[in-house]
Structure 1
Amino acid sequence: MPATRLAVLDLARGLAVVAMAAYHLSWDLSWFGFVDWPVAQGGSWRILAACIAGSFLFLAGVSLDLAHHKGVRWRAFGRRLAVIAAAAAAVSVATFFTFGDTYVRFGILHCIALSSVLALPFTRWPFPVTVAAAAVVSTLPLWAASDGFDGQLWLWTGLGTPAYGSVDYVPLAPWAGVTLAGVAVSSLFRSARIWDRLSAIRAMGPPGRSSRFLGRHSLSVYLLHQPAFYGLVWAATLLVGDVDRAANAFVRNCSVACQDTLGTADLCTNACRCTVAALKSDGIWTALNDAPDTASLRERMNTRYAQCLADPDVLRNLD
């Protein structure tokens, strides 16, 4: 196993950083209403978010194995753990003031910190033991979930239902299992001398160097990119004026409900956009948002929706 830093790991971590940044920028644009992408609710977006989180946790396990399989380097481990824990606390504080009750109580950094503590002993244990541990932790929510874990005290376990939602929630179960899987795969790669062969990958071209740079500084990029993106998108709202977030949310939710019935994405999206425009033309859009349970307003909304569903170009006939 070469003693030098593996470029392929920095490259992989850098690509994960790029994916993460793209996801967060999309989330910000959706949050401020510039786009109607269902970043927070869409199934494909959730899968993407899970893949990104899983890649960081997996690579954390790989790094643990490479750093400590010959013996735990306690000083280096303690320093890394303290930095990640401090960064996790900073994220919680910052999101509390930004998002209120939906702030990050136990997000990706919290999970990486605690998963590292859990996985550290397995860097010295046999491969089959680590694989078994990864399987157990990954499947805990399937057979160990209980109402006894509900509420905030046990939210870190992932075995109950938290009392509040969160803009980022990555509990130990099942996610620590991904870190353990990273330890196991790295151990297997060492035994098969795959790391020796992968050490030949240097990625010296401009894209490779950029990705490796991001990978080497992934924590700093993580802490800085989202405040920067959020601030830029917020500043854009000041330049272009208020974006109708309610209208975008209506179109997004209406389209999902429509597709569950009709299964035609383009027709549903056009009909839902037509409905919003018709309600605005009728002068009842604001009243509907202020009092969405008013029967007469909902009846008008349903009538317009039916018209738009039958003819998405109905607005051309509006005065």
Structure 2
Amino acid sequence: MPSSTTPSVTKRSAFLDLYRGTAVLLMMVFHLCWDLRHFGFIEYSIHDPFWVYFRSLILTLFLTAIGWSSYITLSKSPSASFFWRDLKLFLAAATISVATYLAIPEQWIYFGILHFIFIASILCRPLVTLPVLSAFLGGIILQVYHFTDLLHFPNAFHTISQYVALPTKTLDIIFPFPWIGVVLLGPLLGFLNWHKVSTPNHVILAAIAFMGRFALPIYLVHQVVLFALVAGIKTVLTLFY
């Protein structure tokens, strides 16, 4: 569920890396709990309010970081190119789709977090240098979504599936609304100079910031490692107990 690396012209923000790294850490906890549930170590419903809000918090951290990091880049170099960043995201999203299609074809990921980040970051980029307007529009989208039914499209999937063969269940899916509004809030954090907030020199914070610096590769491999680890523990316990 990661943001991307920014172009080399931009000096990294330790606080933004820590912010994004917190999202990575929470994502790993979320997926570890999912794996433990899958193998019967714990029981819970993913529809419980706690897990719904927990997932929303992770998405909010990741998605606000998209607009935020883009603002930092473009404010320092208005002509900065995002080509390699976008290419990495596209290839990563495609990898997730292909891998899940081969492993679990009945639940493969066709529009998960990486797919959404790739599309949303491109669509929102024209507004990045107008952070107040961007945040205003993002706030409007969130208000309209949560207090009206205008941005709810309950039959959208049924309509699309009539023309495209998609599974009725998927391991991960992100709907454009309200999350595009969350992305649009990100540039305001850059405008408010949150990335200049100093961070304490602590080994734990440094480790979390490291995860934020390499969010994309960690996203691609962490669940494979966690799933294999929990599966291995389950196998060992089954053999001996």
Normalised-by-shorter TM-score class: 0.7 to 0.9
Q: Measure how far apart 1:229 and its partner are.
A: 0.6
Structure with greater Cα Rg? 1
- Runs of 4+ more than 6 Å apart: none
> How many equivalent residue pairs?
223
1:219 and 2:219 matched: no
CA–CA separation in structure 2 for the residues paired with 1:73 and 1:101: 43
Alignment of 1:94-243 (within 5 A): 94-125=99-130, 127=132, 129-138=133-142, 139-140=144-145, 142-146=149-153, 149-151=156-158, 153=160, 164-187=168-191, 189-190=192-193, 195-196=195-196, 198=197, 201-241=198-238
What percentage of residue pairs aligned between the two structures are identical?
27
Q: What amino acid maps onto 2:172 in structure 1?
A: D
1:67 and 2:84 matched: no
Contact 2:63–2:183 (Cα < 8 Å) also in 1: yes
Q: Measure how far apart 1:148 and its partner are.
A: 6.2
CA-atom RMSD in angstroms: 2.4
Contact 2:73–2:80 (Cα < 8 Å) also in 1: no
Name the structure 1 match of 2:12: 5
CA 1:237 to 1:205, structure 2 compared with 1: closer, same or farther past 3 Å? same
Give TM-score scaled by structure 1 length.
0.64
1:84 and 2:92 matched: no
Q: What amino acid maps onto 1:45 in structure 2?
A: W
CA 1:126 to 1:232, structure 2 compared with 1: closer, same or farther past 3 Å? closer
Which has more helix, going by share of residues? 1
Q: Which has the higher contact order (CA 8 A, sep 6+)?
A: 2
1:57 and 2:63 matched: yes
Q: Measure how far apart 1:171 and its partner are.
A: 1.8
Q: Measure how far apart 1:78 and its partner are.
A: 1.4
Deviations along 1:281-306, one digit per CA (max 9) or x if unpaired, are: xxxxxxxxxxxxxxxxxxxxxxxxxx
CA–CA separation in structure 1 for the residues paired with 2:235 and 2:190: 48
Q: What amino acid maps onto 1:22 in structure 2?
A: V
Contact 2:135–2:186 (Cα < 8 Å) also in 1: no
Q: What amino acid maps onto 2:186 in structure 1?
A: G
Give TM-score scaled by structure 2 length.
0.83
CA 1:126 to 1:215, structure 2 compared with 1: closer, same or farther past 3 Å? closer
CA–CA separation in structure 2 for the residues paired with 1:70 and 1:205: 28
Q: Measure how far apart 1:34 and its partner are.
A: 1.6
CA 1:97 to 1:33, structure 2 compared with 1: closer, same or farther past 3 Å? farther
Q: What amino acid maps onto 2:22 in structure 1?
A: L
Q: Measure how far apart 1:71 and its partner are.
A: 5.2
Q: Measure how far apart 1:4 and its partner are.
A: 3.1
Higher deviation after alignment, 144-153 or 94-103: 144-153
Flag structure 1 segments of 5+ consecutive residues without an equivalent. Answer: 155-161, 243-319
